[in-house]
Structure 1
Amino acid sequence: MTAILSAILPVLTIVLIGFWAGKTFTLDRMSLSRITLYIFTPALVADSLYRSPITLANAKGLFLAFSLTYALMGAIAWGLSCLLHFPAPIRKSAIATSAFPNTGNMGLSVSLFAFGEEGLNRAAIVLIISSLLVFSTGPAILKGGKFSNALKFTLKLPLIWAMLMGFALRLLPFELPFQLDRVLEVLAEGTIPLALVVLGIEISQSSLRLTRYDLFASTLRLLGGGTVAYGMGRMVGLEGLDLQVLVLQCSMPAAVSSFLMVKEFGGDTVRTARVVAISSVLAFGTLPLVLGLLSLS
C-alpha cells in the first residue's frame, strides 16, 4: 500500500496545485498546453530514446500489444454504443474516449513514480506508439477521411520528429560537444510537473456533472483499457516491467486528444469534454487498484 500511495499521491498533489492555480488565476490554457505539447513532451521523448536501454524487442512487443488493445477498445466501444442505440455523434465520442488513453501527462507521470526511470522509458515508448496510432487512424475513424490525409497530419506532430531525433542522437558515434545533450535532459526534467499542472488547470475549468453516460464511458476507459491490455500483452508474450507499464498506460483516463479529435472530426464535444475531466478525477480511485493488482502479478 505504501508503494501504491507513493506512486499516486505525488501525482495527485501536483494536479491539485494546478487545480488551485486554475481557480485562482486567469491563465491561458491553450498556451500552456502548446508549450507542453510542442516543447517539453517532445524533449522527454527524444531524451528517453537517446538514453534508454530499452531494446528493439521490447519496443516491438509494446507496439503489437498496444495496437491490439487500441483496436479492440475501439471495437468494444462501437459495439456497446450500437447495442445501447447511441446516436452517431455520441457513438464517435465513446470510441474516442475509450480508445485514446492519456499516455502523456498522466501516463508518464504515474509510470515514473510507480516504476522509476525504467518505467518512464517504456512509458515514453507507449506514448510514441499511441500518438502514431491515434493521429494516423483517429481522423479516418471519426470522419471517414483518407488515410493519406491522416498520415500527413501525423507527420506534422512534434513527437514524431522528437522520436527521429532521439534515434539519430543514439546512433552518433560520439558525444555532443559543450554538453548540448543536456538541453534535452533539462527540458525533459520539467515535463512531468508542467504536464500535471496543466492537467489540474484543465480539470478546474471543466464541468464535472456526472451522468449515466459519463460513468459508463469513464468506467470503460479506466477499467476496460487495462483489462484488455493485460490480455493482449500476455497473448504477445510481454512479461515483467513491459507488461506492467503497458497495463498501467492503458488504464489511464481519456486523453485530451479525444476532445481535440472529436471537435475537429465529429462527435459530441460536450460529452467528450466531460468524460475527459471526470475520468481524470476518477482515475485517482482506480489507479491504486490497478497498481495493487500489478504488484500481485
Structure 2
Amino acid sequence: MTVLLPAIIPVAFIIFIGFIAGKTLKLQQQTLSQLTVYILAPALVADSLYTTTMSAESAAKLLLGVFIIAAVLYLLVLGVSYWLNLSSLIRKSLIATTLHPNNGNMGLSLVDFALGSGGLDRAIIYMIGSSILLFGITPAILAGSSLKHSLGVVFKLPLIWAMIAGLSLRVLQIKLPFNLGEGLHLLGVAAIPIALLILGMQLADTKFKVREFEFASLNLRLIIAPLIAFVTGKLINLETLDLQVLILQSSMPTAVNTLVLVTEFGGDPPLVARTIVVTTLLSFLTLPMVLWLSTKL
C-alpha cells in the first residue's frame, strides 16, 4: 500500500483539480489539447529519447509487445462482434475503445510516479507504438482507407518528428548548446500535469453510465488487455521493468483520442465518450490492483 498510494493519489489529485476547473472556469479545452499535442508531448518524447539510457533491444521488444497486444485484442473484438452479431457501427466503436489505452495522459503519469525515470522512458516508447496504431492503422480499419493514407496522417504529427529528432540527437551524441536541453526538459515535464488537467475537465463534461457496451468495453480494456500484456511480455522475454511498463500501459482506460478517431472515421461518438468516462473512473479501482501485482513480478 505504501508503494501504491504515492503513485495513484497524485494522478487522481491532478485529475480532480481538472474536474473542478472544468465545472467552475471557462477554459478552452481545445487550446490546452493543442498545446499538449503539438508542443508539450513532442517535447517530452524528444527529451526522453535524447536522454534515455535504455537499450535499442529493450525498445524494440516493447514496440513488438504493443503491436502483438493490439493484434490479439483486434481478433478478440472481431470474434465477439461475430458471436453477438453486432452492427458495423458498434463493432467499429468496440475496436476503437478496446485497442487504444490512455497511455499518454494517465499512463505516463502513473508510470512516472510508480516506476521513476527508467519506467517513464519505457512508457514513452509504448506511447509511440500506440500512437502509430491510433493515427496510422486504426483509421484504415474504421474507414476502409488505405494504409498509405493513414500513415500520411502519422507523419503530419509532430510526435513522430520529435521521436526522429530525439533519436538522432541520441545516436549522433549531439549535445545541445546554450543549455537548450534543459529548456526541452522543462517543456516535457509540463506535458504530464497539463494532460491530467485536460482529462479532469473532459470528465466534468460527460455523464457516467454503464450499459451493455460500456460493460463489455471496460472488461476488455481494464481486465483482459493487461492479462494479454502479461502473457505477451513473458513470450517475448521482457525484463522486469519492461514487463511492468507493458502491463501498466496496457491496463489504462480508453484513450480520449478515440473520440476524435470515431468521429472522423466511423463509429458511435456518444457511446465512445461514455466508455471513456466509465473506464477512466473504474480504472481507479483496477489500476491499484494491477500496479500491486506488477510489483510482484
> TM-score when scaled to structure 1?
0.98
**Structure 2: how far apart are the matches of 1:129 and 1:155?**
13
After superposing on structure 2, the runs of 4+ consecutive aligned residues of structure 1 that deviate more than 4 Å are none
Partner of 2:70: 70
Task: Using the TM superposition, give the Cα deviation of residue 67 of structure 1 relative to its aligned residue in structure 2, in angstroms.
Answer: 0.6
Task: Using the TM superposition, give the Cα deviation of residue 173 of structure 1 relative to its aligned residue in structure 2, in angstroms.
Answer: 4.2
Task: Using the TM superposition, give the Cα deviation of residue 27 of structure 1 relative to its aligned residue in structure 2, in angstroms.
Answer: 1.6
Q: Which residues of 2 match residues 137-286 of structure 1 at below 5 A?
A: 137-286=137-286
**Structure 1: how far apart are the matches of 2:247 and 2:62?**
10
Partner of 1:28: 28
Per-residue Cα deviation, 1:167-199 (whole angstroms, up to 9, x for no partner): 122134442221111121010111111111011
Q: Which residues of 2 match residues 41-56 of structure 1 at below 5 A?
A: 41-56=41-56
Task: Using the TM superposition, give the Cα deviation of residue 215 of structure 1 relative to its aligned residue in structure 2, in angstroms.
Answer: 1.8
* 2:20 matches 1:17: no
Is the 1:4–1:291 contact (alpha carbons within 8 Å) kept by the matching residues of 2? yes
Change (3 A) 1:270 1:174: closer
Task: Using the TM superposition, give the Cα deviation of residue 138 of structure 1 relative to its aligned residue in structure 2, in angstroms.
Answer: 0.7
Partner of 1:83: 83
Change (3 A) 1:13 1:143: same
Tell me which amino acid in the other structure corresponds to 2:295. S
Is the 1:78–1:94 contact (alpha carbons within 8 Å) kept by the matching residues of 2? no
**Structure 2: how far apart are the matches of 1:241 and 1:129?**
18
Aligned length: 297
**Structure 1: how far apart are the matches of 2:215 and 2:26?**
30
**Structure 2: how far apart are the matches of 1:151 and 1:3?**
40
Change (3 A) 1:12 1:145: same
Partner of 1:6: 6
Is the 1:74–1:96 contact (alpha carbons within 8 Å) kept by the matching residues of 2? no
- SS for the counterpart of 2:106 is helix
Change (3 A) 1:80 1:250: same
Task: Using the TM superposition, give the Cα deviation of residue 283 of structure 1 relative to its aligned residue in structure 2, in angstroms.
Answer: 0.7
Per-residue Cα deviation, 1:205-234 (whole angstroms, up to 9, x for no partner): 112122122122112101111111111111
**Structure 2: how far apart are the matches of 1:220 and 1:10?**
26
Tell me which amino acid in the other structure corresponds to 2:34. R
Tell me which amino acid in the other structure corresponds to 2:290. V
Is the 1:65–1:232 contact (alpha carbons within 8 Å) kept by the matching residues of 2? yes
Partner of 1:125: 125
| Most deviating of 50-59 and 214-223 | 214-223
**Structure 1: how far apart are the matches of 2:12 and 2:146?**
40
Task: Using the TM superposition, give the Cα deviation of residue 257 of structure 1 relative to its aligned residue in structure 2, in angstroms.
Answer: 1.7
Partner of 2:95: 95
Task: Using the TM superposition, give the Cα deviation of residue 69 of structure 1 relative to its aligned residue in structure 2, in angstroms.
Answer: 0.1
* Structure 1 unaligned spans of 5+: none
Tell me which amino acid in the other structure corresponds to 1:42. P
Is the 1:68–1:232 contact (alpha carbons within 8 Å) kept by the matching residues of 2? yes
**Structure 2: how far apart are the matches of 1:44 and 1:2?**
28
* Structure 2 unaligned spans of 5+: none
- SS for the counterpart of 1:2 is coil
- SS for the counterpart of 1:105 is coil
Alignment root-mean-square deviation, CA? 1.0
**Structure 1: how far apart are the matches of 2:81 and 2:30?**
31
**Structure 2: how far apart are the matches of 1:209 and 1:79?**
25
Is the 1:101–1:253 contact (alpha carbons within 8 Å) kept by the matching residues of 2? yes
Per-residue Cα deviation, 1:50-108 (whole angstroms, up to 9, x for no partner): 00001100011101111100111111122112212221101100011100111111110
**Structure 2: how far apart are the matches of 1:108 and 1:74?**
24
- Percent of residue pairs identical: 44
Task: Using the TM superposition, give the Cα deviation of residue 139 of structure 1 relative to its aligned residue in structure 2, in angstroms.
Answer: 0.9
